[in-house]
Structure 1
């Protein structure tokens, strides 16, 4: 209970500030409607109307909670209004892009650590690739693949991979270079081959760095997938829900989709954290 108390306190403070902000940001519409109807509102009536608008500027927490409940439990899973359906579409592209990006990051990191030419040539380009805004890249990727007749999951997965490979690359390079000179000299004194040094020293040393970067990468992959859904005119996915909500001024729908995406990202990070705990414990790197 003591551990949960600080978290609950912060959460309560956020909710209070959120309600105050919703009341303030939605008050202009209430005042305008009351003036048109020549109506005088009490404070209670005024606050109640700011928190119950159909299309508020800032939805109140209970409105977002209701939108989440309706999207998750109030619809069939196959319904186009179901957040589970849209979440699965986004999740499938996220996992595909995360797998591609992570594999690319690991392979490039191994090459960079073992080859000086790759270190001097590939690493600068990898850094430069992250300076281009993903909002500029996503439409080009979608258009290029669409012109080739490729739509759906794969283009979104490529965008997700673009964002996810760099954290894995940097973390893996750092991890593979963790062994110090004394450890490397000890392996040489045992006449260990390059493969043995990699599998028995470099790779185990890189595991904590790898899992830390994977947590960042999976969240980045989710962001990339949602961004990839926006310019594609997609009809499914959390990005599509955000887009349709913005078209029709459905702010509650937008916030519900945002919270669903945040919950999905948190779940993915927790799964990787659990895998990390089990893996490091079996390798003797953690208790």
Structure 2
């Protein structure tokens, strides 16, 4: 019970502070437009009425938390799942490309890490290029990927998945390299004493030692993969997905819809990270690790 309180109380306190700051920011940012409306209508509201009006605008500069929450609830639970307005449907569209890109990125990251650890030439030549690749903004790469693949007839899910792959393979590569190199020299010498082959050392020592590093990096990778899928939807003119919701909200100045879509993306990211964490604990226990 004490452990539960020690986790809930700090999180709840920070969340409450964020909500308070959000409300203050909403009033401050929506106030100029509200004053203009009041001057046009020759209205002189009280301070309380003025604050209430700034928090209930239809197209506010910064939506209030309750406006975002109401919109999120409506578009999640009160519309059909197949509706274009449904956040469940749009999240699923984005999730499909996220998971495909995450699978590609994880597989690619593991393969590159294995090569880097076992081939010195790859370590010296490939690793610097991998690091340099992450300095290029994804917003610059995404349109190029979309256009090039469209020119050879590849559209739809694959281009978005490849953008997700680009963002997700890097943390997996770095984490897996760190994990494969984590066994101590004493353990490696012990394997040599047992006359273990290179692959026996790899499977029986390096891989088990890398599992915690792998799943820690996969948590970062799956969140990055979601970002890549959303960014990949922006230059394609997608009609569905979280990115499409963001575009539609920007076109029609529906700021509440934009923030609601951002909340939906955050919820999806949190669920994906939690699932990866659960999978990591299951794998560690299956390999004989102690439960945390």
TM-score (norm 1): 0.98
Match of 2:5 among 2, 7, 30: 2
Residue 228 of structure 1 pairs with residue 232 of structure 2: yes
1:78 matched residue in structure 2: 82
Select between 268-277 and 37-46 the one with higher mean Cα deviation.
37-46
Match of 2:205 in 1: 201
More moved, 14-23 vs 160-169: 14-23
For the residue of structure 1 that corresponds to 2:207, the secondary structure is helix
Which whole-Å deviations, capped at 9, do the CAs of 1:185-241 have from their partners, x for residues lacking one? 110111111111011000000011000000000000000010100011111110000
> Does 2:279 correspond to 1:275?
yes
Q: Deviation per CA, 1:22-72, whole angstroms, max 9, x where unpaired?
A: 011101111111111221101121011101000000000000001101110
Separation (CA, whole Å) in 2 of partners of 1:269 and 1:156: 20
TM-score (norm 2): 0.96
Q: Identify unmatched segments of 5+ residues in structure 2.
A: none
Counterpart of 2:155 in structure 1 is 151
Task: Give the CA deviation at 1:257.
Answer: 0.3
Q: How many residues align?
A: 287
Q: Is the 8 A contact 1:277 1:286 kept in 2?
A: no
Q: Deviation of residue 5 (structure 1)?
A: 2.0
Root-mean-square deviation (Å): 0.9
Rounded Cα–Cα distance in structure 2 between residues aligned with 1:8 and 1:211:
27
Counterpart position of 1:187: 191
TM-superposed CA distance for 1:74, in Å, is 1.5
Moved more, 122-131 or 161-170: 122-131
Q: Deviations over 1:143-182 (max 9, x none)?
A: 0111111111100000000000000000000000011221
- 1:54 aligned onto 2:58: yes
The offset of 1:12, in angstroms, is 1.3
Could you tell me which runs of 5 or more consecutive residues in structure 1 were left unpaired when the two chains were aligned.
none
Q: Which runs of 4+ in 1 moved over 3 A?
A: none
Aligned to 1:261: 265
